[in-house]
């Protein structure tokens, strides 16, 4: 997830994926926060703070009654935020933030990034994801700490209890899910607490769903089948998704299959160098990897929100040989043949997933459809720009786009509140808030707030959203 390029891009293109709107099985967002709405008493924080908290609470209750709205329909925009200031008192993650700033940071949050970095190193990665170990600065972090993640989620749970409504609610037409990745793979997603305990996607999704009331999103481009740590984690994740109560917390689960993965890219390079033997070895590494990932996710094959993301370049002389749709078709046939072998072995042996030949036919039918009939193209963004080098028209468009895209950004300096209404916020590992990929001065009080991340943007063509702008607009 390219947090620094904004999770709003992610809404359409996570790992080169299709817009969620064209998927049949999309679920509606659950009506969030039933458990978060119970009234609660105000804890004691010292006389001045109690007065501020108490008067904010008095205003809140009065304004809620006067609004005549159902609590589930309320948002922070329904209140005078100056009068509501103080309701956040004593909640650590909001320390130093006014209610205006919290309202700005809570509106249309697309997600909170758990990791930066991805080991797949795909040639078409729009997010320009670099491997996780790449940390050019010793002060740089590539994962959110478990404590900061919990502090954000726990802080909002407390605030929502005080408010009586979910301040992280979002119009489901804008985003049905809460995303926790952009330039990373969900199998590699992990947080570590101070005692070294590791929390994976399932743990993060449980916490995020409970707090935000939104659905989860999971993507993987596979893992090395010989890596027991990731294989065990994948099986744990599949077990988690297999339970209906957990599956219902998910918007979509995807396996990304394409010719751009670094293993296949290497195979293409070696073939071009005339080293067919080594080329085949890398091709097998990739097809084995994907066949194993698909086999591991077999228990979800029947689920309507389980998909493969399949992308390639057009079959054209301007496209790079090896990355075209015809190449993906050959690659997919090889992967499907390997999956079929695994299914036959399973049926004739342990019957871990496969109990009948009909099941094999059904699953292979879905795979053929997903990998060969739903193939989409790629856009010349991020690393994928280089793949369009033979296409002068695209190169011209890229140059033009780079100039125009800056101009096309909403001018937040003119009418921040209005322009921010449909703009996405995303939260970086250090608590910094971005809007449509642009940096803001708003930052949550994370332990790691002074650390740098791969997502850091100091400014974007002078369009930093300042605290003063938020103060005036909200
Ligand atoms: S390197 Fe590949 S798998 Fe990783 S984030 Fe980029 S496109 Fe997705």
Q: How many domains does the chain have?
A: 1
The answer to whether residue 388 sits within a structural domain is yes
Q: What does the alpha-carbon distance between residue 243 and residue 44 come to, in Å, rounded to a whole number?
A: 41
Cβ within 8 Å of residue 454, ≥6 positions away: 3, 4, 116, 117, 130, 140, 142, 183
**pLDDT computed for residue 459 by the predictor:** 60
Give the domain range for residue 277.
3-87+108-130+163-401
Is residue 20 within 8 Å of 176, Cβ to Cβ? yes
The answer to whether residue 460 sits within a structural domain is no
DSSP-derived pairing of the beta strands 306-310 and 425-427: unpaired
User: How confident is the prediction along the chain (474 residues), in pLDDT tens digits per residue?
Assistant: 333 333 433 433 333 333 333 333 333 333 333 233 333 444 555 666 678 999 999 999 999 999 999 999 999 999 999 999 999 999 999 999 999 999 999 999 999 999 999 999 999 999 999 887 777 778 999 999 999 999 999 999 999 999 999 999 998 888 989 999 999 999 999 999 999 999 999 999 999 999 999 999 999 999 999 999 999 999 999 999 999 999 999 999 999 999 999 999 999 999 999 999 999 999 999 999 999 999 999 999 999 999 999 999 999 999 999 999 999 999 999 999 999 999 999 999 999 999 999 999 999 999 999 999 999 999 998 999 999 988 888 888 887 776 565 556 677 777 888 888 889 999 999 999 999 888 999 999 999 999 999 877 766 667 789 999 999 999
The answer to whether residue 373 sits within a structural domain is yes
pTM of the model: 0.88
Q: What does the alpha-carbon distance between residue 248 and residue 205 come to, in Å, rounded to a whole number?
A: 12
**pLDDT computed for residue 408 by the predictor:** 61
Measured in angstroms, how far is the CA atom of residue 10 from the centroid of ligand 1?
12
The answer to whether residue 254 sits within a structural domain is yes
Measured in angstroms, how far is the CA atom of residue 396 from the centroid of ligand 1?
25
Residue 360 — φ and ψ, nearest 5°? Answer: -60, -50
The answer to whether residue 99 sits within a structural domain is no
The answer to whether residue 117 sits within a structural domain is yes
**pLDDT computed for residue 400 by the predictor:** 76
Most ligand 1 atoms within 8 A of CB, residue of 127, 189, 255 to mutate = 127
Atom of ligand 1 nearest to the CA of 260: 2
100: nearest Cα among 87, 85, 88: 85
Measured in angstroms, how far is the CA atom of residue 1 from the centroid of ligand 1?
8
The answer to whether residue 100 sits within a structural domain is no
Residue carrying the six token digits 């590992």: 429
Q: Is 15 in the pocket of ligand 1 (CB under 6 A)?
A: yes
Distances (CA, A) of 57 to 54, 62, 73, 303: 5, 9, 18, 45
Measured in angstroms, how far is the CA atom of residue 121 from the centroid of ligand 1?
6
Q: Is 441 helix (H, G, I), strand (E, B) or coil?
A: strand
DSSP-derived pairing of the beta strands 306-310 and 250-257: parallel
Nearest CA to ligand 1 atom 6: 125
The answer to whether residue 461 sits within a structural domain is no
Nearest CA to ligand 1 atom 8: 15
Measured in angstroms, how far is the CA atom of residue 347 from the centroid of ligand 1?
33
């Amino acid at each position: 997830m390219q947090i620094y390029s904004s999770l709003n891009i992610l809404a359409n293109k996570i790992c080169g994926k299709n817009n969620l709107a064209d998927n049949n099985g999309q679920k509606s967002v659950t009506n969030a926060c039933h458990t978060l709405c119970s009234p609660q008493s105000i804890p004691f924080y010292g006389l001045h703070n109690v007065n501020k908290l108490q008067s904010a609470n008095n205003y809140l209750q009065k304004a809620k009654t006067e609004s005549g709205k159902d609590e589930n329909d309320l948002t922070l925009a329904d209140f005078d935020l100056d009068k509501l200031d103080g309701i956040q008192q004593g909640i650590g993650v909001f320390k130093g933030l006014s209610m205006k700033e919290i309202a700005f940071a809570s509106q249309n949050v697309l997600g909170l990034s758990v990791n930066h970095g991805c080991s797949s190193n795909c040639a078409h990665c729009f997010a320009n994801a670099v491997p996780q170990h790449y940390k050019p600065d010793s002060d740089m972090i590539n994962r959110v700490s478990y404590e900061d993640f919990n502090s954000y989620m726990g802080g909002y749970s407390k605030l929502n209890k005080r408010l009586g409504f979910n301040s992280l609610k979002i119009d489901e037409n804008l985003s049905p899910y809460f995303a926790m990745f952009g330039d990373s793979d969900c199998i590699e997603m992990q947080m570590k607490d101070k005692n070294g305990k590791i929390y994976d996607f399932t743990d993060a999704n449980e916490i995020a769903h409970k707090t935000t009331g939104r659905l989860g999103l999971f993507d993987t481009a596979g893992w090395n089948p010989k890596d027991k740590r990731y294989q065990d984690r994948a099986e744990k994740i599949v077990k988690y998704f297999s339970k209906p109560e957990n599956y219902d917390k998910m918007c979509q689960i995807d396996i990304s299959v394409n010719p751009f993965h670094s293993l296949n890219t290497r195979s293409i390079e070696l073939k071009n160098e005339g080293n067919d033997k080594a080329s085949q070895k890398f091709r097998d590494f990739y097809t084995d990897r994907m066949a194993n990932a698909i086999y591991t996710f077999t228990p979800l094959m029947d689920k309507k929100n389980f998909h493969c993301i399949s992308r390639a370049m057009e079959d054209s002389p301007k496209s790079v040989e090896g990355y075209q749709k015809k190449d993906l078709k050959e690659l997919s046939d090889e992967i499907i043949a390997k999956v079929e072998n695994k299914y036959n072995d399973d049926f004739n042996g342990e019957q871990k997933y496969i109990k009948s030949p009909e099941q094999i036919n059904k699953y292979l039918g879905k795979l053929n459809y997903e990998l060969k009939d739903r193939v989409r193209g790629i856009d010349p963004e991020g690393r994928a720009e280089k793949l369009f080098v033979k296409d002068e028209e695209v190169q011209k468009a890229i140059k033009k786009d780079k100039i125009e895209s800056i101009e096309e950004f909403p001018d937040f300096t003119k009418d921040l509140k209005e322009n921010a209404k449909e703009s996405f916020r995303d939260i970086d590992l250090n608590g910094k808030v971005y809007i449509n990929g642009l940096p803001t001065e708003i930052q949550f009080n994370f332990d790691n707030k002074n650390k740098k991340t791969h997502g850091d943007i100091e400014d974007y063509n002078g369009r930093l959203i300042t605290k003063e702008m938020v103060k005036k607009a909200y």
